[in-house]
């Protein structure tokens, strides 16, 4: 009997130890979350429903001008009204500032002591890599008419040839009037493309490195081949193309000098996968964060906190210019808001907090060697917080403080938001930046938070619907919680 009793005692100790080890592991070790498993009941369906509005936004906003226009339409439907510098803001008011039609500031003035509570700022950019037309774009060669382009932002040039492209933008005529251009989005519209060399004659091209196989100066948009009827004139194809443009838009070739026209992928936002769990589209970077910014602001517009949403331009090229985040407009907006409360704008900036809502690189198992798997964002893992961005030694980053990261952790956990952390690839593999550093220059605590993206900067990127929805929930929590 003694032997059996000893066995039972030993077994009991093992059970206790195993149970204790399990509890200790749960208490002390980090375990990555999955939005499908750890999200609230019905998360997947809510994410699918939310993504429908986002897809419609993407299709209506393929350039920063269109994103600002759509943002204003959404804001006015929620009771926001335009603001001009020099006007007096009213507490409790909801306003937007349209910066040259290419960046947008929307703000809702709350009831809190603004010098103590500051402003809850969320900032995303609405420009994306694309092909801009040069100021003298139209030319004829070999029986074709073309537009010359200059690529905007970081692209892999080979991804932009032989795909259907649409033309978006504005032309300012000699008399100062403006005409909007959008060709290639309606099913009845023509499309445009950049031809590539056929494989049968590409033996030399195929030996070139990927960054040299397609030359920037050869990325010319094919736009016509029919000649003008009069055989006596020169450049008949170019003339016929220009005649069509004049008839439709009332422009001359000289008007291209004061135009902003961009070639963007013509594809619509579509569900990806048999399970429809993902969205494929052009411009996820960074409109996938801009849309949740807007919806979170409107959902929390009556919060006691003062909130500011920024849709920024020029992020892909360094945030320069009057519509980029390196301009003084943010400081001017904060000053105007502070003035409405009779507050010091320096005190307001010091008390404010910002989520720089920008995308992160989703782990791609087909290219796993460039990622640090332990510090990579995964699709379905929820919204991503990047404590720092930059490249090779954190160059160009604002690197949020541990205290501020801890504050955001508490907000997200308190709201039941599924989230993860990441950095952009291995230390020596590359990197990238966001607008965070330019907001932090104002003395505002800032950290990056957004959606993980596959094929970032490609003409067609992919995101997870649950990550998109978790980003909306995260921004709602930031706007409404202490």
The string of pLDDT tens digits covering residues 143-170 is 999 999 999 999 999 999 999 999 999 9
Segment 278-337, tens digit of pLDDT: 999 999 999 999 999 999 999 987 889 999 999 999 999 999 999 999 999 999 999 999
CB 245 within 8 A of CB 428: no
Cα–Cα distance measured from residue 135 to residue 55, given in angstroms and rounded to the nearest whole number: 32
CB 71 within 8 A of CB 80: no
Locate 482 and state its tokens. 């202490």
CB 121 within 8 A of CB 296: no
Region for residue 162 given its phi and psi (left: phi exceeds 0; alpha: psi -120 to 50; beta: otherwise): left
The owner of tokens 């000893």 is 6
- Whole-number pLDDT of residue 272: 98
The DSSP 8-state label assigned to residue 192 in this structure reads B
- Whole-number pLDDT of residue 22: 86
The owner of tokens 């933008």 is 169
Q: What are phi and psi of 309, to 5 degrees?
A: -110, 135
Q: Containing H/E element for 136? A: strand 130-141
**Measured CA distances, 136 to 139, 256, 258, 291, 327 (Å):** 8, 6, 10, 35, 28
Q: Where residue 19 falls among pLDDT bands split at 50, 70, 90?
A: confident
pLDDT above 90 coverage of the chain, percent: 86
Locate 211 and state its tokens. 């960054």
Cα–Cα distance measured from residue 286 to residue 283, given in angstroms and rounded to the nearest whole number: 6
Q: Where residue 4 falls among pLDDT bands split at 50, 70, 90?
A: low
């Amino acid at each position: 009997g003694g032997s059996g009793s000893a066995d039972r005692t030993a077994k009991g100790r093992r059970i206790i130890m195993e149970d204790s080890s399990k509890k200790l592991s749960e208490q002390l070790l980090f375990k990555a979350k999955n939005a499908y498993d750890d999200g609230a009941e019905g998360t997947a369906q809510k994410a699918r429903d939310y993504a429908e509005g986002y897809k419609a936004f993407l299709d209506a906003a393929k350039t920063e001008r269109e994103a600002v226009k759509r943002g204003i339409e959404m804001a006015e439907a929620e009771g926001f009204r335009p603001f001009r510098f020099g006007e007096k803001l009213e507490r409790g008011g909801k306003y937007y500032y349209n910066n040259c039609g290419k960046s947008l500031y929307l703000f809702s003035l709350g009831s809190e002591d603004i010098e103590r509570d500051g402003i809850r700022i969320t900032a995303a950019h609405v420009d994306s890599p694309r092909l801009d037309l040069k100021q003298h774009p139209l030319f004829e060669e070999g029986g074709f008419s073309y537009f010359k382009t200059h690529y905007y932002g970081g692209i892999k040039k080979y991804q932009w040839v032989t795909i259907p492209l649409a033309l978006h933008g504005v032309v300012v005529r000699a008399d100062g009037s403006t005409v909007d251009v959008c060709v290639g989005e309606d099913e009845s519209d023509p499309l445009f493309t950049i031809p590539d060399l056929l494989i049968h004659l590409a033996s030399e091209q195929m030996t070139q490195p990927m960054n040299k196989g397609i030359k920037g100066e050869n990325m010319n948009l094919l736009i016509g081949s029919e000649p003008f009827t009069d055989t006596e004139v020169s450049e008949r194809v170019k003339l016929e193309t220009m005649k069509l443009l004049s008839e439709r838009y009332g422009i001359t070739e000289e008007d291209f000098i004061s135009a902003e026209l961009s070639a963007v992928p013509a594809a619509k936002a579509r569900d990806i996968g048999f399970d429809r769990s993902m969205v494929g589209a052009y411009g996820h970077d960074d409109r996938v964060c801009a849309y949740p910014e807007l919806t979170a602001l409107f959902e929390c517009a009556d919060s006691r906190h003062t909130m500011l949403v920024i849709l920024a331009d020029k992020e892909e090229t360094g945030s320069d210019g009057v519509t980029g985040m390196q301009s003084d407009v943010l400081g001017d907006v904060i000053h105007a808001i502070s003035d409405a409360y009779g507050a010091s704008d320096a005190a307001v900036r010091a008390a404010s907090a910002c989520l720089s809502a920008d995308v992160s690189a989703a782990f791609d198992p087909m290219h796993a060697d460039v990622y640090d798997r332990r510090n990579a964002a995964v699709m379905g893992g929820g919204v991503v917080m990047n404590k720092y961005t930059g490249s090779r030694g954190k160059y160009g980053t604002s690197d949020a403080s541990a205290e501020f990261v801890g504050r955001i952790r508490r907000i997200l956990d308190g709201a039941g938001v599924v989230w993860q952390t990441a950095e952009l690839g291995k230390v020596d593999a590359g990197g990238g930046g966001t607008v965070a550093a330019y907001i932090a220059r104002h003395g505002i605590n800032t950290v990056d938070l957004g959606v993980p993206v596959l094929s970032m900067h490609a003409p067609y990127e992919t995101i997870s619907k649950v990550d998109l929805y978790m980003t909306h929930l995260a921004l709602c929590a930031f706007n409404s919680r202490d």
